[in-house]
Chain A
Amino acid sequence: MSHGHDSHELPHSHQKQYIILGVVLSIVTFIELGIPLIKGVPELWTAAKEVWAPLLVVLSIFKFGAVVGDFMHLRTDLTLYKILFVSPLFLAMFSFFAIGSLSIVHFHPFGKGYAITAQDLADGYVPPATGATAEPPLADDKFEAAFADAQKTSFAKGKETFTASCASCHRADGGGMPGLGVNLSDDCYKHGGKIAALYTTIAKGVSGTAMPAWQNSMDSEKMRQVAYYVRSLKGTNVAGGKECEGPKE
């Protein structure tokens, strides 16, 4: 510490500004946390329904900017550092939106059932035991083989169930029937075309239509297989299918 003569050259301290900024950021965080709570007050929630989500995004952009600009001093630092940081940031945002604009077009061969749904647990499903009583895991090669096999049989079973239970209204090729089932081979979905949405529609049915709640007569595994099979029909646009109903996905 022999730089006593340097003391008059010491950079200006920003301690106060940092503490003030810390308080501001805390307040913003509390506001952010309060926004989901507004849902508990229906009058307030519906009064500005379109505002809440964008408001959250704006607040987080403010926090982002404050930390980068002031804590990391990028606002007053060299342009070179700004370029080094901001250009990849925009590149990342660009790829984020580019990826987001794609949609899952192809059938997902993920095979046999995934994990347990919340519904399964509510229905009294007991998860398999872990630890000592659990089955030993399969070796990698055996697992791959079993997985591939499960994919194939799962898809075939989905088709089988579809033919047996769904084809009477939706037609064997999924084209739909006037007054009965919707066309499943286009890309319009009245109740959502994502796997989870398809599963829900199959399980709960659609009240006021001929679509029954299949959870009363099918197990969740079977409904999952059907959901995947239905997903695979998307965009096949079979001849003579029903006209598009519901939003395009």
Chain B
Amino acid sequence: MSAHADTLTHDSHEAHGHGALSENNFLGLPNIKLAMWAFLGSECMFFGSLIGTYFFYHGNSLSGPLPKDVFSIGITSISTFLLLMSSVTMALGVDAMRQQKPMKARTFILLTAALGACFVGFQVVEFHEFYTEKHLVFAGPNASLFGSTFYTMTGFHGTHVTVGVIWLLIMSVLITKKKLVPGKEAVNVEVMGLYWHFVDIVWIVIFTFVYLLEFLK
């Protein structure tokens, strides 16, 4: 707790109100970190319901194309690997920030953003191929249960990755402009990391249960 007290005295004359989110609350914990864990808890239920809906309707599509007709394990493996590696670079970025090496942290953050952007790019390519070549439709009279539930689930995940990439880019700008107090506001980067890792674990679940298990049947 002495470390907390130390940073608090530093900040009282250093941060002029712009660090309210990273300030500690009455529990002695950073507000933003507590809020992020609560948010991620709710995200578990959000993605739980989307994945649950996918499986609830799985095998009930009257018409095709069916999962086996559209999934290509090659392209998905590459994007899965990219997202996994981005979790490593994110962890390294958070670590560098705690070591008070903001420029090193920025390198890893930008690397993470690049890997995330590649993942989103692959998803755009995948969706485009599914829609135009495989006739997997999202909504309307030509839609199937598989199409609707699949696009909703993976689309929301892709949106989360996109939001994460934007967040990473903003953070790298803040670090460049030295708007982030290295010691205390490292928690802002840590919290961004929590979000990013969460997005990765959602994909771990989707990749195994939606893609890989499909190929075992």
Contact = CB atoms under 8 A, between A and B. Distances in A.
Contact of B60 (A3, A104, A224): A104
A67 B63 contact: no
B88 A114 contact: no
A88 B45 contact: yes
Interface residues of A, number: 79
A184 interface: no
Interface in A48-88: 52-53, 56-57, 59-60, 63-64, 67-68, 70-72, 78, 80-81, 84-85, 87-88
B116 interface: no
Interface in B42-80: 42, 44-45, 47-49, 51-53, 55-56, 59-66, 69, 73, 77, 80
Nearest to A7: B100
A195 B62 CA distance: 6
A249 to B, nearest CB: 11
Interface residues on B, range: 35 or more
Given A36-B216, A59-B208, A84-B41, A199 B62 contact: yes
B63 A60 contact: no
Given A9-B3, A71-B197, A88-B42, A3 B135 contact: no
Interface of B is mostly: helix
B208 A22 contact: no
A29 B84 contact: yes
Interface of B: 3, 6, 10, 27, 29, 33-34, 37-38, 40-42, 44-45, 47-49, 51-53, 55-56, 59-66, 69, 73, 77, 80-81, 84-85, 87-88, 90-92, 95-96, 98-100, 135-137, 140-144, 147, 182-183, 193-194, 197-198, 200-201, 204-205, 207-209, 212-213, 215-216
Nearest to A87: B41
Interface stretch (A115-123, A211-219, A238-246): A115-123
Contacts of B201: 63-64, 67-68
Nearest to A198: B62
Contacts of A32: 208, 212
Given A63-B204, A104-B60, A1 B212 contact: no
Contacts of A1: 100, 182
A39 B147 contact: no
B45 to A, nearest CB: 5
B204 to A, nearest CB: 5
Contact of A95 (B52, B61, B64, B65): B52
Which residue among A9, A92, A150, A197 has the maximum number of chain B CB atoms within 10 Å of its CB?
Answer: A92
Nearest to A116: B135
Nearest to B202: A64
